[in-house]
Amino acid sequence: MGVKLFILGRPGSGKSTAARYFQQIVRVRGLTAAHFNDYDILREMFLADYEHKRFRPTEHNGFDAIDLSVLDSALEELEKRITNTFPTPELVTIEFARNDYATALRCFSASFLKDAYLLYLDADIATCLRRVHERVMNAQTQDDHPSFSDEIFRNYYARDNRPFIRHSAQRKFGLSKGVKLVDNRGLLKEFLHELAQCADTILVEEPELLISSYK
């Protein structure tokens, strides 16, 4: 497995933007990158749930999870799909949103987590919900899909994950790589500046990502 970068945060916190940024950095060096998220898996599960026992449809062709155990199942399936990817890309970005990352990260095996980088994007619920609405109404990429309904969004994502990410995540899961928290409540240029600093750190620690096929 190549370098693994978990990009975490509420929907609307900038995870997909960050993933595209890191992938672009790697690809301009002539290396390969792959992006994975749990949305496609959850949507497959939703479409297979004909009787709506575990999901219910929402507006804009979205869905809510009624049985929250599907969220854990999706992460377990996510690891399987990443592990079985061939050929192995030099960079794998992994994106998913959960209300409690201390619990959600337990869905991954210790061997899968231990050498992964963890980037948490922090933005308040009101900002995230506004961005979700904007991207659904003005979809430009395949990542501009609906999230939970507004009511469930506000309730499910109420937890503040910052203390866990900042003080406990690395020790709790035995992460040998860095854990970084970035505030994304401001301007895009400020966010991209923070991402650039994160990328510089990763490139220094992972010299294979500095290798260009054009050398």
Domain that holds residue 170: 7-45+73-210
pLDDT at 94: 97
Q: Looking at the predicted structure, is the pLDDT value of residue 214 above 80?
A: no
The number of distinct structural domains making up the chain is: 1
Residues 101-142 pLDDT 10s: 999 999 999 999 999 999 999 999 999 999 988 877 766 665
**Structural domain contains residue 161:** yes
pTM given for the model:
0.90
Q: Are 2 and 88 within 8 A, CB to CB? A: yes
How many H-runs (helices) and E-runs (strands) does the chain carry?
A: 10, 7
pLDDT at 86: 86
Q: What is the mean pLDDT of residues 163-190?
A: 93
What would the two tokens of residue 95 be?
């994106």
**Structural domain contains residue 67:** no
Rounded CA-CA distance 17/23 in Å is 10
**Structural domain contains residue 200:** yes
**Structural domain contains residue 112:** yes
pLDDT at 124: 94
**Structural domain contains residue 65:** no
Question: 200: Cβ–Cβ under 8 A, 6 or more apart, which residues?
Answer: none
Question: 14: Cβ–Cβ under 8 A, 6 or more apart, which residues?
Answer: 121, 123, 184, 191
Q: Binning pLDDT at 50, 70 and 90, where does residue 13 land?
A: very high
What's 90's domain CATH number? 3.40.50.300
Q: How confident is the prediction for the chain on average, in pLDDT?
A: 90
Q: Give me the count of residues in the chain.
A: 215
**Structural domain contains residue 38:** yes
**Structural domain contains residue 52:** no
Q: Looking at the predicted structure, is the pLDDT value of residue 179 above 90?
A: yes
**Structural domain contains residue 64:** no
